[in-house]
Structure 1
Amino acid sequence: MADDRNSLTAYLAQAYLFPLFPQGTVPPLHQHAPLWPVMEELNCRPKETRDFMEVTEIPLLAVENAVRTYFMGFENKLRVEWPNSSLTMPCPDVKVLGNPALNHLKVKNEHDFHEALQYFMLNTTAEAIRTIEKQPFDEDELSFLRLRAQGKVNSRKICTLWLFGRPIGLPRVVSQGVVILSLPPWEFGPGDFQMFARPRKFARGELDREAPDGPRWNNAMKLWALTYDVCKSFGFKWFVVTTYNHWVFGTWSPNWTAVEVTQVLPFDKTRSITLVELLVFWTQSGRERVRYWQTAADFSR
C-alpha cells in the first residue's frame, strides 16, 4: 500500500467486498424479484397516514468529497495491529481471505446471507468506529444489533434490521443512530433498486395501504413504506438499504415528508471512496459525531 499498513484510514481506503457465491436451492437472481405478497403490517390504520411525499437524489460527488474530508482529518493517527479478527474485509498487501472467511461467501439461504453481510461489512465498520472512538473493546455498545425480520410471510423473511449500538437505558424512540435494512438479493433485484432510488413524488395517501383487490404496490413501494415505518419508529434520520450486491444510503427530512438517497451503488465500489468508508461516515453522521453532511429538506408543495 502507498500508506503505512498499520493505518486504519489506509486500510479502509482500499478494503473491498468479494462477491457472494449462491449455493444449492438459493432462488435465481433476476432484474426484478417476484412481487412480494400483500403485507398487512404495512397498511396504515384508519385516520393514519404516511407524510412521506418525495424522493430526491443525493449528489454522489458531493458525498464523496465529504467522506474524503472526514478521513483526511485523521491522517495517520488511527493505528491498527495485525492480525485483527474484526477487520475482515480483504485489502491489497494487508488482508487476504483464508478458507474460513471464504466460506462465509457461500450462501445457501437467508441466514447465510445475513452472516456474510455481518461478517464482512458490518464487523469491519464497527471495528473502525471503535478504533476512531478509542474504545476497541466496547463491542456491546459500538456494534450493529440485529433485530427481528420485517415483512415476514410464513417462513419467508424479506427484510432484517440492524441498528448501530445497543440503546440500553434509552427511550424506545431515540434521536441518534443509523438503521440498515438488509434484504437477500433474490428478494430485491437491481431493477427493484433502481425503482426504489429514482427521484419521484408520491400523492398524499399513496403509500398508506395496499388494497388486496386493487392495484398492487411494486416491491420498491413496499420497501419505502417499510423504511419509513422503521426509521420513524426509532427516530433515526440516517439509513442504509442493501442486498449486499447493491447499496443505497439515505436521510429523512425533519418532518418525515421527504427523503434523499444516493444512486444505487454496487458491492465492488472502490473508485474515489470505498463502501466501507461511506458506511463508517454514514453511521457516525447518524450518531451526530460528524457534521459534514445534512439530512434531507422537507417537501415543499
Structure 2
Amino acid sequence: MDGFPQDAAFPGPQRFPLSSLPEDLHEAFDDPGAIEGQGTITTLRQYLRAAALPACLRFGQRPIGICPMFLTPWPENPEMKRPLGTRVLQKAVTLDKWDFSRNARRYIDELPELMIRVAHSDEVERYSRIDGLDDLLEMLQTTLLSTIAECIRLIERMQRSASLYDSLKFARATSLCTAHHARWDILAMRDVAFDRMTLAIIVVPPWELSLNAFRRFAAPRDFPGNLLDSMPSNPADFISDKLWAVVHDACHERGRYFVVTNYTHWAFGRFAQGWNVAHITEPIEARMIELEGKGVNYAADNGVTVIESLLYWIQLARGAIPL
C-alpha cells in the first residue's frame, strides 16, 4: 500500500521491550548517548513496527497459540444474569479494518523521531513459560503494557515522577465483572486525575478462546429481547454472549474504549453514545517471536501491527489524539 513503510526499512524484531531496561537506566534511556554499549539503538517508530510478542509456552510444552482439539466448555454462570434492561447493548458493528489501520498508521508515522535503545534480557525462562491466566496477565503487564506506557511517556516528554505517568499503568480489575470459574480477567487503565477508567482489556487465554470463537464474538450481530441479561443457553453463541456481557459490565458508564484478546489475536472496540452500540475490529493477529531464536511468525499484514494498534487505541481513549 502506498505510503506504508517497507519491511526492509526496519531492523529485525526486537526480542524484548523497552521496559526491560534496569531501573537505574530509565532516565538515561531518553538519551541514547548516555547508555553507550547497552542494547540496540533504533527509532521509536522502527521499534514499534518491528516489535513482536514472545511466543510463550503453556506449562512449558505447547505454544499458547495452539489450542487443544476440544476446549473445556465454559460454565453456565447463572450469577451473571441481570434484571431485564440492565445491559443496554443492542448491537455489535464491525469497524472497517482498513479504516482502522489507515488511521493507526497515520498516527504512528507522524510520531516524532525519537531515538531509543532497546535492551536485551536474560529472563528467557520467565517469559517462555505460562502456567495459567495469572502468569499470562503478569507477562502482559510487565512486558507489553509497560512498554506502551514507556512509549507514551517518551512521546509526551513526560517525567517519570509526574502524577500523569501513574495514569498510564494497567491494574487487575477483576471486580468489574466476576463469575464463578470465570475464563477471563480484566486489566484497566485508570485516569487518576479524573478518577475514571480510560480503557479496559478483557483477557481470555487462547486455550479458553479459539480463533473461530473469537471471530464469532467480533462478528456483527444484534442482541434482541434483553439477550445479554437473560443469558439463555445458546450453543452457537454461548461464549460470544457471555463475553459481550463482560465487555458491557466492565465498560458501562466507566469508559467507552476496550480491547479483547486471547494473546495471539487482538480486537479493538468502543461504545457509541448511549452504550447501545459497540464498534469492534476483526481479531488482528499478533507478530510472535520464539524466545530460543527459532524465528518470527510474521502475522497477516493488516497495515499496522498489534503493538502499534494498541498504542494508537490507548491514545484515542486518553483523548491525546482526535477520533
Bin for the TM-score computed over the shorter chain: 0.7 to 0.9
State the alpha-carbon separation in 1 of the partners of residues 98 and 250 from structure 2.
Answer: 28
Cα–Cα, structure 1 residues 152 and 206, in superposed 2: closer, same or farther, change >3 Å? Answer: closer
1:259 corresponds to:
278
Q: What do the CA deviations read for 1:161-211 (whole angstroms, capped 9, x no partner)? A: 11224x43645xx3x611111112222111210110111122131111235
From 36, 51, 68, the counterpart of 2:105: 68
State the alpha-carbon separation in 2 of the partners of residues 252 and 32 from structure 1.
Answer: 33
Tell me if the contact between 1:31 and 1:191 (Cα under 8 Å) persists in the aligned partners.
no
2:186 corresponds to:
161
State the alpha-carbon separation in 1 of the partners of residues 111 and 193 from structure 2.
Answer: 32
State the alpha-carbon separation in 2 of the partners of residues 181 and 56 from structure 1.
Answer: 18
From 273, 285, 298, the counterpart of 2:304: 273
Q: Secondary structure at the match of 1:6?
A: strand
Q: How does 1:79-98 map to 2 (within 5 A)?
A: 79-83=115-119, 98=121
Structure 2 runs not aligned, ≥5 long: 1-7, 12-40, 288-298
Structure 1 runs not aligned, ≥5 long: 84-95, 294-301
Cα shift at 1:75:
4.0
State the alpha-carbon separation in 2 of the partners of residues 197 and 190 from structure 1.
Answer: 11
1:237 corresponds to:
256
Q: What do the CA deviations read for 1:5-37 (whole angstroms, capped 9, x no partner)? A: 432112111111132211169998247743321
From 198, 210, 223, the counterpart of 2:219: 198
* Greater fraction of residues in helix: 2
Cα–Cα, structure 1 residues 37 and 82, in superposed 2: closer, same or farther, change >3 Å? Answer: closer
State the alpha-carbon separation in 2 of the partners of residues 82 and 206 from structure 1.
Answer: 48
From 39, 49, 62, the counterpart of 2:77: 39
Tell me if the contact between 2:79 and 2:179 (Cα under 8 Å) persists in the aligned partners.
no
Q: How many residues align?
A: 268
Q: Secondary structure at the match of 2:267?
A: strand
TM-score by length of 1: 0.79
Cα–Cα, structure 1 residues 13 and 203, in superposed 2: closer, same or farther, change >3 Å? Answer: same
Q: What do the CA deviations read for 1:235-264 (whole angstroms, capped 9, x no partner)? A: x11110011111111111111111111111
Q: What do the CA deviations read for 1:37-74 (whole angstroms, capped 9, x no partner)? A: 122442112x5332212111111111111112112222
1:16 corresponds to:
52
State the alpha-carbon separation in 1 of the partners of residues 89 and 70 from structure 2.
Answer: 24
Cα shift at 1:278:
0.4
Q: Secondary structure at the match of 1:225?
A: helix
Runs (4+) of structure 1 exceeding 4 A deviation are: 24-28, 214-217
- Percent identical among aligned pairs is 25
2:239 corresponds to:
219
Cα shift at 1:125:
1.1
Q: Secondary structure at the match of 2:319?
A: coil
Q: Secondary structure at the match of 1:187?
A: coil
For 2:314, the aligned partner's letter is: T
1:142 corresponds to:
168
Cα shift at 1:82:
4.6
Q: Secondary structure at the match of 1:158?
A: coil
2:133 corresponds to:
110
1:250 corresponds to:
269
For 1:280, the aligned partner's letter is: L
State the alpha-carbon separation in 2 of the partners of residues 67 and 254 from structure 1.
Answer: 22
2:290 corresponds to:
none
TM-score by length of 2: 0.74
Cα–Cα, structure 1 residues 31 and 12, in superposed 2: closer, same or farther, change >3 Å? Answer: farther
State the alpha-carbon separation in 2 of the partners of residues 22 and 42 from structure 1.
Answer: 29
State the alpha-carbon separation in 2 of the partners of residues 63 and 215 from structure 1.
Answer: 31
